[in-house]
Structure 1
Amino acid sequence: MTSAPTLVVRYFAAARAAAGVPEETVPGAGSLDALAGALADRHGARLATVLTMASFLVDGVAWHDRRAPLPAGATVDVLPPFAGG
């Protein structure tokens, strides 16, 4: 018996605060849009708002096409806009 593919999602800064966890393993999602929807359902409106503004890395590579299929077993980094001085 094989298990369903999963993704590791790592949250940074405001995304971490909104999700309430630094990292989690979730069932594989077809695309970044699908993943964002599942994460918003899991963690609520605050994270949903952050996800609309966030940038994403998939296995360390900037991922711009939110409808492109995510690779099974990928690590997705959620990077909200950062402010600095």
Structure 2
Amino acid sequence: MLTVRYFAGARAAAGGVSTEEIAADSLEELAQTLTDRHGERLGLVLKAASFLVDGLTCHDRQAALPAGATVDILPPFAGG
């Protein structure tokens, strides 16, 4: 199981959920599971979001996720 934490617009798109537990082997699988659970609005946010896995940026959405990892979902932010 993974701990998923939502920030800013990702939290709003997930219906106000800030943290939840999800089973997924990769970010791609995670994104699909979260879209199925919360809807296409979150799916759109996830397409543009950055992901931190245990505090480190992860760009490879096919890479295996370690069991028990914390995944932070950070949507694009306005400004600099």
TM-score by length of 2: 0.95
Q: Give the structure 2 partner of residue 33 of structure 1.
A: 28
Match of 2:68 among 64, 69, 73: 73
Q: Give the structure 1 partner of residue 54 of structure 2.
A: 59
Q: Give the structure 2 partner of residue 46 of structure 1.
A: 41
Q: Give the structure 2 partner of residue 23 of structure 1.
A: 19
* CA RMSD, 1 decimal: 1.0
Q: Distance in 2 between matches of 1:59 and 1:30?
A: 15
Greater C-alpha radius of gyration: 1
Q: Distance in 2 between matches of 1:68 and 1:7?
A: 14
Q: Distance in 2 between matches of 1:9 and 1:34?
A: 13
Q: Percent identity?
A: 68
* Residue-pair matches, total: 79
